[in-house]
Amino acid sequence: MSGLAPTLAPSVRMRWLVLAAPGSEKYGGAAKVAEWRGADPPTVGDLWIRAARCALDERDPEAERYYARFVARWFTQALECGDIEPESRAGMAHGLAELWLHIGHLQSAAGGFRQVPHEVSIPRRSGAWSRLLRDGS
C-alpha cells in the first residue's frame, strides 16, 4: 500500500499520507503547530501527552520517551508561568516528577518530588465557615 503514495497526485497523496500517519505523529504535529501559533503551555503540553500516549499504544517506547520529554518541558513551563490553577499545582508537580522518573532523569524527578509540598494550596475559609469552626454553631 505504501507503494501507491508516489503514484497519486499531490493533492490526493497528502490526504492519503495524513490518513496513513500514526496517531503519535499527528498529535506531535498538532503540538508543533500549537507551539508556532503561541498557544499556552498547558495546551501544548496536553497535545504532547496525547502523542506520548499514542506512541505507548503503538508499542513504540522510544517515541513515547521522546514525546514525554516535550510533555515535561511544557508542563514545567506552565508551572513556572503560573498557568496552572492553585488547586492543581501539587498534582501537576507530582505528575511531572513521575514523568521525569519514567523518562530516566533522576535529578529532575527528585527535584520535582521536593517541589510538591511547596505547591500544596490550602483553601481559604469563608467567613461563615470560620465562624462555624470557631463558635461551634
Task: Per residue of the chain (137 residues), give pLDDT as tens.
Answer: 455 445 545 554 555 555 678 889 999 999 999 999 999 999 999 999 999 999 999 999 999 999 999 999 998 998 888 888 888 888 888 888 998 888 888 998 898 888 888 887 766 655 555 555 556 55
Contact 25, 60 (CB under 8 A): no
Residue 37 lies in a domain: yes
Q: How many domains does the chain have?
A: 1
Residue 102 lies in a domain: yes
pLDDT of residue 11: 52
Residue 134 lies in a domain: no
Residue 78 lies in a domain: yes
pLDDT of residue 80: 87
Residue 95 lies in a domain: yes
User: What's the CA gap between 30 and 50, in Å, rounded?
Assistant: 10
Residue 10 lies in a domain: no
Range of the domain at 112: 23-122
Dump the DSSP string for 42-89: HHHHHHHHHHHHHHHHTT-HHHHHHHHHHHHHHHHHHHHHT-S-GGGH
The pTM assigned to this predicted structure is 0.69
Q: Which of 47, 81, 43, 84 is nearest to 67 (CA)?
A: 47
Residue 86 lies in a domain: yes
Taking the CB of residue 22, how many other CB atoms lie within 10 A of it? Answer: 15
pLDDT of residue 82: 81
CATH number assigned to the domain comprising residue 35: 1.25.40
Residue 12 lies in a domain: no
